[in-house]
Structure 1
Amino acid sequence: MDLAKLQMFVKIAELGSLSKASAQYDMGASTLSRQMSAFEAEYKGRLFLRTGRGLVLTELGQKILPRARELLADADRLAAEIRGSAGVPRGTVRLAVVPSVTAPLVARIILEAQRRYPEVTLHVTEAFSGQIEEWLALGRVDLGFVLRPSANSVTEKPLARSQLCVVGPAGDSLTAPDEVDFSCLDGQSILLPSQPSNFRSFLEQIARRNGVTFKVAAEIDSVAIMKEVVAAGVGYALLSASTVQQEVQQQRLSIARLINPKVSRQVYLSTTAQKSGDLATREISRLIRQVSEELLGVVEEPSTGDAAPDESVSPAAEAFYVPNPE
Structure 2
Amino acid sequence: MQFQQLAYFLAVAEARHFTHAAERMRVAQPSLSKQIKALETELGAPLFSRARGNVTLTPAGEALLPLARRMLADAETARREVAELAGLRRGRVRLGATPSLCAGLLADVLARFHGDYPGVELQVEEGGSRDLVRDLARGQLDLALIILPLQSSDPSLVTEEILREDLVVASAVKPGRRTHMRIDELRGRPLVMFRRGYDLREATLTACRQAGFEPRFAVEGGEMDAVLRFVEAGLGVAVVPSMVLDGRPGLVGTPILPGLRRTVALAHRKDVEPTRAAQAFRSELLSFLVEASDMGTLSPGIEALAHRRPGENS
CA deviation after TM superposition for structure 1 residue 65, in Å:
4.1
Structure 2 CA distance for aligned equivalents of residues 277 and 143 of structure 1: 8
Gaps of 5+ in 2: 37-47, 49-53, 304-314
Q: Using CA pairs under 8 Å that are at least 6 residues apart, name the structure with larger relative contact order, 1 or 2.
A: 1
Report what 2:185 is aligned to. Answer: 184
1:281-305 deviation per Cα after TM superposition (whole angstroms, max 9, x unaligned): 111111111112222459xxxxxxx
What does 1:52-91 align with in structure 2 at a 5 Å threshold?
Answer: 58-60=55-57, 63=62, 65-83=65-83, 88=88, 90-91=90-91
Structure 1 CA distance for aligned equivalents of residues 90 and 222 of structure 2: 33
CA deviation after TM superposition for structure 1 residue 39, in Å:
6.6
Structure 2 CA distance for aligned equivalents of residues 270 and 89 of structure 1: 25
Structure 2 CA distance for aligned equivalents of residues 38 and 80 of structure 1: 24
What does 1:104-123 align with in structure 2 at a 5 Å threshold?
Answer: 105-123=105-123
Report what 1:277 is aligned to. Answer: 274
Report what 1:93 is aligned to. Answer: 93
CA deviation after TM superposition for structure 1 residue 90, in Å:
3.3
Report what 1:22 is aligned to. Answer: none
CA contact (8 A) 2:168 2:255 kept: yes
CA deviation after TM superposition for structure 1 residue 69, in Å:
1.0
1:49-103 deviation per Cα after TM superposition (whole angstroms, max 9, x unaligned): xxxxxxxx95249746424412322312421452465564632101122233335
CA contact (8 A) 1:109 1:291 kept: yes
Report what 1:238 is aligned to. Answer: 239
* Residue 124 to residue 196, structure 1, CA distance change in 2 (3 Å): closer
Structure 2 CA distance for aligned equivalents of residues 271 and 212 of structure 1: 37
CA deviation after TM superposition for structure 1 residue 146, in Å:
1.0
Structure 1 CA distance for aligned equivalents of residues 294 and 139 of structure 2: 30
CA contact (8 A) 1:276 1:282 kept: no
CA contact (8 A) 2:243 2:299 kept: no
CA contact (8 A) 2:190 2:218 kept: yes
CA contact (8 A) 1:80 1:279 kept: no
Structure 1 CA distance for aligned equivalents of residues 181 and 29 of structure 2: 59
1:116 maps to a residue whose letter is D
The reply on whether 1:263 has 2:267 as its aligned counterpart is: no
TM-score, structure 2 length as denominator?
A: 0.69
CA deviation after TM superposition for structure 1 residue 143, in Å:
1.2
2:159 maps to a residue whose letter is T
Gaps of 5+ in 1: 17-30, 48-56, 299-313, 322-326
What does 1:1-326 align with in structure 2 at a 5 Å threshold?
Answer: 6=7, 13=14, 34-36=23-25, 38=27, 42-44=31-33, 58-60=55-57, 63=62, 65-83=65-83, 88=88, 90-103=90-103, 105-148=105-148, 151=154, 152-156=156-160, 158-168=161-171, 170-171=172-173, 176-195=177-196, 198-220=199-221, 222-246=223-247, 248-249=248-249, 251=250, 254-273=251-270, 275-297=272-294, 318=300
CA contact (8 A) 2:163 2:263 kept: yes
RMSD over aligned Cα atoms: 4.0
CA contact (8 A) 1:159 1:267 kept: yes
* Residue 290 to residue 317, structure 1, CA distance change in 2 (3 Å): same
CA deviation after TM superposition for structure 1 residue 214, in Å:
0.8
CA contact (8 A) 1:165 1:257 kept: yes
CA deviation after TM superposition for structure 1 residue 257, in Å:
2.0
CA contact (8 A) 1:153 1:272 kept: yes
* Residue 39 to residue 290, structure 1, CA distance change in 2 (3 Å): farther
Structure 2 CA distance for aligned equivalents of residues 184 and 33 of structure 1: 59
User: Which region of structure 1 is more displaced relative to structure 2, 99-108 or 281-290?
Assistant: 99-108
TM-score, structure 1 length as denominator?
A: 0.67
CA contact (8 A) 1:189 1:234 kept: yes
Structure of greater Rg: 2
Structure 2 CA distance for aligned equivalents of residues 130 and 67 of structure 1: 19
